[in-house]
Amino acid sequence: MTAHEIDYTIYGEEMQYVEIELDPNEGVVAEAGSFMMMDNGIQMETIFGDGSKKDTGVMGKIFGAGKRLLTGESLFMTAFYNVEMGKKRVSFASPYPGKIIPIDLAKFGSKFVCQKDAFLCAAKGVSIGIEFSKKLGRGLFGGEGFIMQKLEGDGMAFVHAGGTTAVKELAPGEKLKVDTGCIIGFDQTVDYDIEFVGGIKNTLFGGEGLFFATLTGPGTVYIQSLPFSRLAKRVWSAAPKGGGKDKGEGSILGGLGDLLDGDNF
């Protein structure tokens, strides 16, 4: 194996975290901000690039960082190494309610395609980059939520999904239509594209966006019921307006109460 062989345990139900057990000299890479806790004896290091190798040279690091920048992620990742004798543990937490999904890349043909913000952490040696599309329509109409990452290697990777997770096994030629934000990831054998919803009423009043993601088998597809973009939109729409003064969720005045507020005159 080129990636470090790590052991892990996932704890919790709705707000999960994954505890990774490292043997001496083993390491794991993670997105900045996902760290939860670690044993004494683990060394933390900030990495410029995709974290796949300890030393890839200056140009290799710049190229790896550039791939991450295109997906909207930070230029840097964090690596954690066990630098002492004996087993040590380090844990990483979910950023919002949902599930942590372990992905054994060796069982996915050394490549798994996922949403740009789904990646949580992976064994040292796994490469995290952008999945380039040869179809122009994906980039023009897929939206920010349809920028995909690829995880490559033969080690363990962990992705995070919001809400409840559905796993679909697609037969050859079988097609599944999904909201672009609800995709977690899929096999490299799955063909993905976007499709116009169609219909003037659907376009203007449907409220579901103008495009579907279409996933065509064979392969395994992971779907999430609560993408973060949808959660953030609901939280924002429910946030109190009018200078931060909350009239109460059940107020019959609603927006009218803001207009009648003395501060607005």
Sequence ranges of the domains in the chain: 7-238
CATH number of 7-238, picked from 3.30.70.260, 3.60.160.10, 1.20.140.10, 3.30.450.20: 3.60.160.10
Residue 148 has a pLDDT of 82
**196-244 confidence digits (pLDDT tens):** 765 555 444 444 456 788 899 999 999 998 887 776 676 777 777 665 5
169 SS3 class: strand
* CB 163, CB 101: distance < 8 Å: no
**39-89 confidence digits (pLDDT tens):** 999 999 888 665 565 444 444 444 444 555 555 555 678 899 999 999 999
How do 98-104 and 42-48 pair as beta strands?
unpaired
By CB atoms closer than 10 A (0-12, 13-18, 19+), residue 102 is: exposed
Question: Side chain identity at 228, as an amino acid letter?
Answer: F
Q: d(Cα 193, Cα 146) in Å, to the nearest integer?
A: 10
E strand or H helix that includes residue 44: strand 42-48
Residue 29 has a pLDDT of 92
Residues 47, 157, 111, 105, Cα dihedral to 10° = 130
DSSP state string for 185-246: EEETTSEEEEEE--SHHHHHH--S-SEEEEEESSEEEEEESS-HHHHHHHHHHHS--STT--
